[in-house]
A and B are shown apart, each in its own frame.
Chain A
């Protein structure tokens, strides 16, 4: 039995998005927004979740925040208690001070990883309840500054990083040129109609990690794929609007992304190694638009790489030698069951594989997902502290010999990087793309 220490004092938030947003609130506005969200946008699902919870605390061990911080306020149900229970009990008559705390909890103390839903005997989905809280905060204009800015970028540019139309195309051409040093006549075909693969990435790739586009281009060319990337907005599959609660904007984004692929008559969308974008494209965004499943098949990089190896479409020079361990990102293991395919890739590419435990659906979150890392520096310390359990898990894998952590998700990379640094884990982080590129045998 885990003996949690008692409730600690809440730290004061210094986030300007939250603090300045609060200045524009009145109790009347809070009440009317809450009433509107509760009556128009939620229904039996929220009601049943809140009414069925028997306060048993079984979800506590499902949450890495609780496991790391050992404070009852961080158990999943504890977070619901501090947000929606109170709101529903008081029928929206809550203070700006309450909203400040609720926004901090909803945006920065829950990664929406849904692990707790696997620990609750009733399968109650606390991530959903937190998303309702975020929706309320979005409508109140009380959103952490950094992630709000990202959502604004989405609304203007249809990408996460304020990348302008020309900068995107220019980056692709630059990466194409760089990659031509590795493979002559390599192409990143723009706007090619009827391609088998529409390759989409997240905003940070052209902005900060352009080498990933380079690597993907080399892999696609080596595999002889009929692929394309769009030159116009719609290339970004990421979605911070889903996480701020700006669902209208999420719908606009997802529509643009799907229509980009549909208008190019692509057979399917293959996306880079990103978790939250996959959740947005495969699960949340399509539903919001009325598509039961995505209108065009969506394939995560893991599924795609697995296919490459299964069909012998690429060859490797030799296996990656350093011992590796694998971090299962929530949105693609718990969100799409890709963990076994990920292991197939590890086995096809690496000499020595060491499992971290728990793993697969039960893996601990990186503490960065769900938009938490996107809330930026004001919350970084708290985020890294909540990764203590993850650090322990990594240390255990390291003790068994693992030197490299493969994390096929951008947010996981960001989160794990901070955890590895803060706790002195001293392990190297890689994407599958990094490893495959490194050992890839280029065709003559």
Chain B
């Protein structure tokens, strides 16, 4: 969790970085990233030796590149704890470097940087064509011939990934059908192999893993800790654990239509043309999902009750308010993006929208939006006047009285606190 209660929430604007200084200092710059608290920005640059490195700022706002330079730097990201990490390589060997401190061990390749809420990092790695996961610098004891879809548990103690548990060569289609894939948790594979495994997901208490699997072309299951549900479906989407009792729900396809099932039993009886990205309210009492009630129409269903409005192109990014009482999402209707909340759409259409953010008390909803060439903050349905060339999504103060805006106007990247 970002410790936002320790941040400076006094109203006002603070200059964080001058983009022109960066442009003058470096011949090569990539995109700016801002820390969650907005106090720093980071950017991949080439230093005077024409090596790739990362530049941040001194407390005075002066550009301050990392001391180490590399053959390549990518995937620059601030963790939730506002520390800055990237993948860096030297002579073909890859590491994670956090705030210019590289990991001790290097790998032949490294990707899928994953944070838990404490800012702990897990990555997928390849060494001598063997694959495993490195969590907080500690690699799995077992490696596999193929690995993908790595996830980190909420408590940071475990990692899981889809792995090739039986090596299968290209063209061995009959061996493939026997099942050569599984899930490994902290390097230990489930005892069962499947034809395919997708979408592993940890329970909120980090003690269980569920995944979508197919045992044959026509038999899709949800498997929990390696054991499948009692009945199969013609397809399934990603499973999700209830935060309350570790029961598992997943969208399942039956007779050409989609339903929501819980522990193998249909929970939502309504057949939908599509149903996915279902999610629990923070207290675990409600489930919301994106559904298509008729072909080509999209809306949100909460506990199987659809909103009265629907959209022609797309619905995405369900967001619950912290108390679970309100639900917002993004939609695209007739080619324009928008925000809808509790079954009502914001009036203004946008060229693009980012997932909206609720204040802790649930009274405010804000989103980063794009219109024309500029980014804006839209708050409770109204687009604010200030326009930005670069912008991060807004954040609210713990008492819901102020909003943090991190954005670049012209060359100046500012941290602004607005009181509501």
A residues near B (Cβ < 8 Å) are: 17, 20, 40-41, 138-139, 141, 145-146, 148-149, 152-153, 155-157, 162, 164-166, 169-170, 173, 185, 187, 189-192, 194, 231-233, 246, 248, 251-252, 255, 262, 265, 267, 289-293, 295-296
Q: How far is the CB of B24 from chain A (nearest CB, A)?
A: 16
Q: How far is the CB of B171 from chain A (nearest CB, A)?
A: 5
Do B370 and A194 touch (CB < 8 A)? yes
Closest A residue to B125 by CB, please name it.
A166
Q: A152-B173, A155-B196, A262-B314 are in contact. Are A141 and B292 (CB under 8 A)?
A: no
Q: What residues on A are CB-neighbors of B190 within 8 Å?
A: none
Do B235 and A267 touch (CB < 8 A)? no
- Please report whether the interface of chain B is mostly helix, strand, loop or mixed according to DSSP: strand
Q: What residues on A are CB-neighbors of B108 within 8 Å?
A: 166
Do B109 and A169 touch (CB < 8 A)? yes
- B72 in the interface, Cβ–Cβ < 8 Å? yes
A255 to B217, CA, bound (A): 18
Q: What residues on B are CB-neighbors of A149 within 8 Å?
A: 170-173, 176
A248 to B256, CA, bound (A): 10
B143-163 to A contact mask, C-beta < 8 Å, 1/0: 000111000000000000000
30 contacts between A and B (CB under 8 A): A20-B174, A41-B256, A138-B217, A139-B218, A148-B173, A155-B195, A155-B196, A157-B148, A165-B147, A166-B108, A166-B110, A173-B72, A185-B27, A185-B28, A187-B30, A190-B74, A231-B75, A232-B112, A248-B217, A248-B234, A248-B253, A252-B198, A252-B235, A262-B316, A265-B352, A265-B354, A291-B296, A291-B313, A295-B314, A296-B332
A40 to B254, CA, bound (A): 10
Q: A267 contacts which of B172, B218, B220, B351 (Cβ < 8 Å)? A: B351
A165 to B162, CA, bound (A): 12
The winner among B112, B173, B312 for most chain A CB atoms within 10 A is B173
Do A141 and B217 touch (CB < 8 A)? yes
B385-411 to A contact mask, C-beta < 8 Å, 1/0: 000000000000000000000000000
A248 to B213, CA, bound (A): 12
- B308 in the interface, Cβ–Cβ < 8 Å? no
- Please report whether the interface of chain A is mostly helix, strand, loop or mixed according to DSSP: helix
| Size class of the contact patch on chain B | 35 or more
B residues near A (Cβ < 8 Å) are: 27-28, 30-31, 72, 74-75, 108-112, 124, 126, 131, 146-148, 164, 170-174, 176-177, 181, 195-196, 198, 214, 217-218, 220, 234-235, 253, 255-256, 273-274, 276, 292, 295-296, 298, 312-314, 316, 332, 351-354, 370, 375
Q: How far is the CB of B34 from chain A (nearest CB, A)?
A: 12
Q: How far is the CB of B104 from chain A (nearest CB, A)?
A: 20
Do B126 and A166 touch (CB < 8 A)? yes
Do A293 and B313 touch (CB < 8 A)? yes
Do A146 and B171 touch (CB < 8 A)? yes
A115 to B374, CA, bound (A): 45
Closest A residue to B272 by CB, please name it.
A290
Q: A189 contacts which of B30, B174, B196 (Cβ < 8 Å)? A: B30
Q: How far is the CB of A258 from chain B (nearest CB, A)?
A: 9
Q: What residues on A are CB-neighbors of B332 within 8 Å?
A: 295-296
Do A190 and B126 touch (CB < 8 A)? no
Q: What residues on A are CB-neighbors of B253 within 8 Å?
A: 248
A146 to B375, CA, bound (A): 48
Closest B residue to A138 by CB, please name it.
B217
Q: How far is the CB of A326 from chain B (nearest CB, A)?
A: 31
Q: How far is the CB of B45 from chain A (nearest CB, A)?
A: 11
Q: How far is the CB of B367 from chain A (nearest CB, A)?
A: 11
Q: How far is the CB of A188 from chain B (nearest CB, A)?
A: 10
Q: What residues on A are CB-neighbors of B220 within 8 Å?
A: 248
Closest B residue to A191 by CB, please name it.
B75
A115 to B351, CA, bound (A): 38
For the complex of A and B, the 6 pairs showing the least CB-CB separation, nearest first, are A292-B296, A295-B314, A290-B274, A166-B109, A290-B292, A248-B235
A113 to B314, CA, bound (A): 29
A434 to B16, CA, bound (A): 45
Do A165 and B171 touch (CB < 8 A)? no
The winner among A41, A156, A231 for most chain B CB atoms within 10 A is A156
Do B75 and A156 touch (CB < 8 A)? no
Q: What residues on B are CB-neighbors of A156 within 8 Å?
A: 146, 148, 164, 181, 196
A300 to B351, CA, bound (A): 21
Closest A residue to B392 by CB, please name it.
A193
Q: How far is the CB of B81 from chain A (nearest CB, A)?
A: 21
Closest A residue to B352 by CB, please name it.
A265
Do B274 and A289 touch (CB < 8 A)? yes
Q: What residues on B are CB-neighbors of A162 within 8 Å?
A: 170
The winner among B124, B126, B351 for most chain A CB atoms within 10 A is B126
Q: What residues on A are CB-neighbors of B198 within 8 Å?
A: 252
Q: How far is the CB of A385 from chain B (nearest CB, A)?
A: 25
A145 to B314, CA, bound (A): 37
Do A290 and B173 touch (CB < 8 A)? no
Q: A166-B109, A233-B148, A265-B354 are in contact. Are A291 and B314 (CB under 8 A)?
A: yes
Q: How far is the CB of B364 from chain A (nearest CB, A)?
A: 22
A191 to B33, CA, bound (A): 13
Closest B residue to A143 by CB, please name it.
B173
Do A165 and B111 touch (CB < 8 A)? yes
